[in-house]
Each structure stands twice: as structure tokens, then as C-alpha cells.
């Protein structure tokens, strides 16, 4: 058991959620250390009714740490993860820096939990948009191999951090008052708009966010033959990513079979009654750890196709929850 644990990036939005999860899920440990940058080091925070002093994220702090959950930007993860691994600390890394390295398992506990056994000191948690999709794909893929996925994402501004949230709230307020707003996170106004670009231009007209969904999905399932065609779009929603997903399987899966498969799968909740207006939305999926699925229907353009709608809290299952679940597998 990991007796001495730490959270790197403990004061960030996801780091705060990790702290909350560890407390709510009664994660086992003997000591816990909270790590952050110079800006937060020396300040205090409350955890389980006790006051803790935040320590500076530096090499020597890992001398007595068994396990660290890292909720940091890529450049910070690039810097601190080697410090930890060199000292025998296991790292659950939420950044994008290590995800596609051959020696680093990319893990979603509902999908490929056994992959944690292959770690060499680092375990990566996938991108938020990939995570919810592969959770939803898993029961269908187990029933009949998925050959192809066409996915369009509707991603919330919380995925772009504090600046993204400010752009949505203040940008909308200023737009209503016919005032300009200096957008920081987005290259175009997000108020009353959708932006069909997340990330930089990457490959054949696809963005970096879109290619993450391709490469990470194939790595998680251990199958490069799964074809993924993604389009990632930023929408004026505060939290929770939504996805329109179409899968093509080797053998047909009926709507009734899909409902049963989704119902029986861990980490999935079905909300599906079109006539009564019951389906997942950001407003009813926020602050939840599960992946929500609805609008399940036969793809009328493809013999073995199935279409559905998928919503998940990108800060929880898309980040904090998944990392804590990986840590739970380790202990």
C-alpha cells in the first residue's frame, strides 16, 4: 500500500477536486503532502479537518513519498515527474506529457485496469474527451469489436481553465451590455458562439485535441485498427463535455442490446427517453463521477452502426476522478 502520498498542483482547479475525492472516497494513507508552485508554497489548506502547509514542488520533497497524483500543466510534469521517479515514487500523471510514451500505460479503470501492472513508475490519465468516450465504448467493444468511431465533441470552457471560465462569464456579460471583452483563452469570442478548433493544427487538417482522441483511444484499447474520426468544438457551456458518437461494429448491436450493455457497465448511467425529454445534458451531469449516455439509436446510414449521446463532467471523470481511481487500483 502507498503509505505516503502527495498531490502535485494541489491548489489548481483539478487539484482541489482530487483533494475532495481523496476525502470523500476515504483513500487510505498514513501521510499526505500538498505540493504547488512558489506562488502557493507556504500557504495553508484544510484537509480532513486538519491544517496543512503547502510545500514547494521541488526534487527533495519526493524523498519520502510513495505515490503522487500530478495535476499540473505539461511543462511542469516534464520537470517534476523525473524527480519523483528517480526517488522511487509512483506518479499518476494527469498532464498530456507522458500519455503517448511507449513505456507509460494510459489507463481508464473501467476500460483497461490491468494496464497499471505494466508501469515503470509513471501511469498516465487520458485527455478528458477521450476518457468519457472510451468508457462508453467499452461495453459495446466487448460485445462486438468496434471498427470505426465518428465523434463530434461539444466541450465546455472549464476545459480551458480559469481563463476559459472568465472568457465565458465576462465575455457573455460584456456582450449583453454591448461592451468588448479581451478574450484570453480563446482566439474567437465564446459568448453566443461555437469555435470548431481546440488545440493547434496537427495532422491532415485535424487539431491536436482531435488527434489525442485518435491516438489515445487506440492505445487504451491496444488496437491501432480502430479508426476514429473526431471533430472537437468549444461551446459556451461552463462545465461538462458532450459528445455525439457513432460506432461501427463488426456485428450488429441492437438498441435493446446496447441499453442492456450500458446499464450493466461500471461508471455508466443511462438517461434515454426521447418522448419524455430525458437525456444527458451538462445541467444534469455536472458534479457527477459517471459517464451519462442517451439518445441511443440505430445508425440508419450504416448496417452495423449505432449512434448515441454522451455527457460527462470533464473536471471529475475527465480528470480528477480518473486519476484517483488509478491510485485506488495501485493501493
Of the candidates 128, 232, 240, 310, the residue annotated as catalytic is 128
Instruction: Report the run of H or E that residue 122 belongs to, with start and end.
Output: strand 122-124
User: What does the pLDDT read at residue 331?
Assistant: 87
User: What does the pLDDT read at residue 2?
Assistant: 59
> What CATH number has the domain spanning 4-125+319-330?
3.40.50.720
Residue intervals in the chain for CATH 3.30.360.10: 130-314
Q: Running along the chain, 331 residues long, what does each successive block of 10 average in pLDDT?
A: 88 94 94 95 94 96 96 96 97 97 98 97 98 98 98 97 96 97 97 98 97 98 98 98 98 98 98 98 97 98 96 97 97 87
pTM for this structure? 0.96
**Exposure b/e, 248-271, CB count within 10 A at least 16 = b:** bbeeebeeeebeebbeebebbbbb
User: What does the pLDDT read at residue 284?
Assistant: 97
Cβ count within 10 A of residue 90: 22
Residue intervals in the chain for CATH 3.40.50.720: 4-125+319-330
128 a catalytic residue? yes
Of the candidates 232, 240, 241, 310, the residue annotated as catalytic is 241
> What CATH number has the domain spanning 130-314?
3.30.360.10
Amino acid at each position: 500500500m502507498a503509505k505516503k502520498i502527495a498531490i502535485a498542483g494541489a491548489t489548481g482547479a483539478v487539484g482541489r477536486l482530487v483533494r475532495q475525492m481523496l476525502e470523500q472516497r476515504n483513500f487510505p494513507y498514513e501521510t499526505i503532502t500538498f505540493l504547488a508552485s512558489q506562488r502557493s508554497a507556504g500557504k495553508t489548506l484544510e484537509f480532513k479537518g486538519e491544517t496543512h502547509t503547502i510545500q514547494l514542488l521541488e526534487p527533495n520533497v519526493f524523498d519520502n513519498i510513495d505515490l503522487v497524483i500530478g495535476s499540473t500543466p505539461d511543462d511542469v510534469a516534464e520537470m517534476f515527474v523525473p524527480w519523483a521517479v528517480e526517488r522511487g515514487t509512483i506518479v499518476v500523471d494527469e498532464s498530456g506529457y507522458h500519455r503517448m510514451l511507449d513505456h507509460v500505460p494510459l489507463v481508464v479503470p473501467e476500460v483497461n485496469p490491468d494496464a497499471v501492472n505494466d508501469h515503470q513508475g509513471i501511469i498516465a490519465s487520458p485527455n478528458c474527451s477521450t476518457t468519457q468516450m472510451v468508457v462508453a465504448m467499452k461495453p459495446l467493444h466487448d460485445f462486438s469489436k468496434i471498427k470505426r468511431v465518428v465523434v463530434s465533441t461539444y466541450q465546455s470552457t472549464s476545459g480551458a481553465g480559469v481563463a476559459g471560465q472568465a472568457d465565458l462569464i465576462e465575455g457573455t456579460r460584456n456582450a449583453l451590455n454591448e461592451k468588448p471583452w479581451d478574450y484570453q483563452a480563446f482566439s474567437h469570442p465564446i459568448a453566443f458562439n461555437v469555435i470548431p478548433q481546440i488545440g493547434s493544427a496537427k495532422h491532415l487538417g485535424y487539431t491536436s485535441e482531435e488527434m489525442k482522441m485518435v491516438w489515445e483511444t487506440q492505445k487504451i484499447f491496444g488496437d491501432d485498427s480502430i479508426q476514429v474520426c473526431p471533430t472537437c468544438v468549444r461551446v459556451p457551456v461552463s462545465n461538462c463535455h458532450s459528445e455525439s458518437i457513432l460506432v461501427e461494429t463488426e456485428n450488429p448491436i441492437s438498441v435493446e442490446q446496447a441499453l442492456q450493455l450500458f446499464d450493466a457497465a461500471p461508471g455508466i448511467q443511462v438517461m434515454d427517453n426521447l418522448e419524455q425529454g430525458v437525456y444527458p445534458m451538462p445541467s444534469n451531469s455536472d458534479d457527477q463521477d459517471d459517464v451519462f449516455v442517451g439518445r441511443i439509436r440505430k445508425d440508419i446510414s450504416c448496417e452495423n452502426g449505432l449512434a448515441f449521446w454522451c455527457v460527462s463532467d470533464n473536471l471529475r471523470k475527465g480528470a480528477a476522478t480518473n486519476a484517483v481511481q488509478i491510485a485506488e487500483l495501485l493501493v
